[in-house]
Structure 1
Amino acid sequence: MDWIKQLNEAISYIEENLTGEISYEAISKIAGCSVYNFQRMFSYIADKPLSEYIRNRRLTMAAFDLMNSKERIIDISLKYGYESQDSFSRAFRSFHGVLPSGVRNKIVQLKSCPKLSFQINIQGENHMNYQIEQWPEFKVMGILHKVKTSTALDVIPQIWKNAWKDGTMKRFVENFPDYRPAGFLGIAEGGKWGDSEEMNYIIGVTSHVDVPECIHIHAFEGMKEFSYPIATWAIFEANGELPSATQKVYKQFYTEWLPSSGYELADLPVIECYMQENRQEVWIAVVKK
């Protein structure tokens, strides 16, 4: 399926369920990527988290209901997923700057969050340095962290801070194998597309590549080994200050490169490679359409 069509179908699913339950798993299945990667992709493209977009769309529609219907405020609150009128009123005032009751009692200025629509956006001046490689099976040794997909964007930076504090990174530096994918690796494993509310996040290094000259470095004590199959990877240069350098790559990848590339996403984790002197790579597995 066309990538842009998938994204717009995911937005349509959200619209159809603004007054019901919105499943992140269902969204990710429609888009054809993991929950975590969809959340991250969405935030790069829309410049706001997915949860904030959904909340703002609901509050936008709630304002229309207040103006155009005689429904009770408590009923509108429940309709858009709020457990009480008080919680709805707080959220409504935070977004619109006025209480729900004020909408009916006087003329007020309200905010609107329109429905998103994704389109291909090709800008020739923003070039991307990348290569497509058929890469052999490889292994990674590292530390696995169980993370809730709903909090992953906030939790993962803290995982890296802790890894530097607790000596994990020092162990890698002292025994650093010079294999690709290179550098310190951040790997988000979401399981099968949309099947879990949890994901695995791995900090590690490549310990073996399935080529004759490569020596297998077994996982250090307290670490685990993870295997990834032979696959086609789009490898993007993301050099520069973090996190803006990788964020720019993701935004261009999803809005420009992927829609016009003739590829679609493979069901494999995205790998971020952190090397010295602000050099980074982003590995994204793809398959020909």
Structure 2
Amino acid sequence: MDWIKNLNESINYIEENLHGEISYETISKIAGCSVYNFQRMFSYIADKPLSEYIRNRRLTMAAFDLLNSTERIIDISLKYGYESQDSFTRAFKKFHGVLPSSVRNETVQLKSCPKLSFQISIKGENHMNYQIEQWPEFRVMGVSHKVKTAQAFEVIPQIWENSWKDGTMKMFLDNFPDYRPAGFLGIAQGGQWGESEEMEYIIAVTNHVDVPNCKHVPVLEGMKEFTYPAATWAIFEANGELPDATQKVYKQFYSEWLPNSGYELADLPVIECYMQENHQEVWIAIIKK
């Protein structure tokens, strides 16, 4: 399965560069998705953020170096990307619970973060409600926010909160066209396939679908219009309390559905649709292998 193969190659890249710079852009190119989507996918499957995994792998290998070599602690610190011995010592103690110097002078208990290996998962424990649709070109209108990819998980919830406070959501409610993709849309785009450290996050509603008799709703003042081409979309129900409902869908999609589907990811944004009464959909563009 190409998806699983690409994920394992991305892990191999991380492993080969624990002593040097690790580029999130390179990781996402290997995996075949955007930086943001790779970070999200990784956190759902591994149950930890990508940055934490890399840090823990480096601290695991640093402990082996302390045990099995005579390298100075300052040299090991620099080897694993720490600017000073003090910063390395703080990180090492937080992860292992002991000082680096104690590893060589005492008998201590250390932690280990093993190298990840992705495999096809066929559990069948929880079914997924989805449909695959050939959806025509459509447009959305909304407010765009530039976001540093590495900060997206912290920043995006704040963007939604601010949108309710600043009147954006009221403007949508007063002029709601009720086209599909339905509801309030959260769209992460830009930086696709690892080409940028910055992405664009858009809170929007659909204002036109390229089908007969669909009236184009004019773009509201202060908003922009974005167009997405006709494509094949896998549309998953994600009903329930947030954020657990959407997180469950992503975890099953990346670990079970996609590897067994015969599809691969298309170079289009993932769209989250937020509707009433804890009803959500996740739209993921796909192409046949």
The TM tier, using the shorter chain, reads over 0.9
Distance 2:27 2:73 in 1: 29
The match for 1:115 is: 115
Distance 1:251 1:125 in 2: 13
- How far is the alpha carbon of 1:118 from its aligned partner? 0.5
Contact 1:240–1:278 (Cα < 8 Å) also in 2: yes
Distance 1:10 1:247 in 2: 22
The match for 1:140 is: 140
The match for 2:45 is: 45
Distance 1:190 1:12 in 2: 26
Note the alpha carbon deviations across 1:78-107, whole angstroms, 9 max, x for none.
000000000000000000000100000011
Distance 1:45 1:190 in 2: 23
The match for 1:243 is: 243
TM-score by length of 1: 0.99
Written as runs of structure 1 = structure 2, the 5 A alignment for 1:144-223 is: 144-223=144-223
- How far is the alpha carbon of 1:123 from its aligned partner? 1.4
- How far is the alpha carbon of 1:191 from its aligned partner? 3.2
How much identity, in percent, do the aligned residues show? 84
Q: Give 3-state SS (helix, strand or coil) of 1:193's partner.
A: helix
Contact 1:35–1:190 (Cα < 8 Å) also in 2: no
Query: Is residue 263 of structure 1 aligned with residue 263 of structure 2?
Result: yes
The match for 1:13 is: 13
Contact 1:36–1:190 (Cα < 8 Å) also in 2: no
Note the alpha carbon deviations across 1:125-149, whole angstroms, 9 max, x for none.
3100000000000000000000000
The match for 1:79 is: 79
Note the alpha carbon deviations across 1:209-255, whole angstroms, 9 max, x for none.
00111000121000000000000000000000000000000000000
Q: Which runs of 5+ in 2 are unaligned?
A: none
TM-score by length of 2: 0.99
The match for 1:29 is: 29
Contact 2:232–2:287 (Cα < 8 Å) also in 1: yes
Distance 1:213 1:51 in 2: 48
Q: Give 3-state SS (helix, strand or coil) of 1:91's partner.
A: helix
Q: Which runs of 5+ in 1 are unaligned?
A: none
Q: Give 3-state SS (helix, strand or coil) of 2:192's partner.
A: coil
Contact 1:141–1:207 (Cα < 8 Å) also in 2: yes
Distance 1:278 1:174 in 2: 21
Distance 1:20 1:47 in 2: 25
- How far is the alpha carbon of 1:190 from its aligned partner? 2.8
The number of residues matched between the two structures is 289
Instruction: Indicate the RMSD between aligned Cα atoms, in angstroms.
Output: 0.6
Distance 1:287 1:140 in 2: 22
Distance 1:217 1:281 in 2: 22
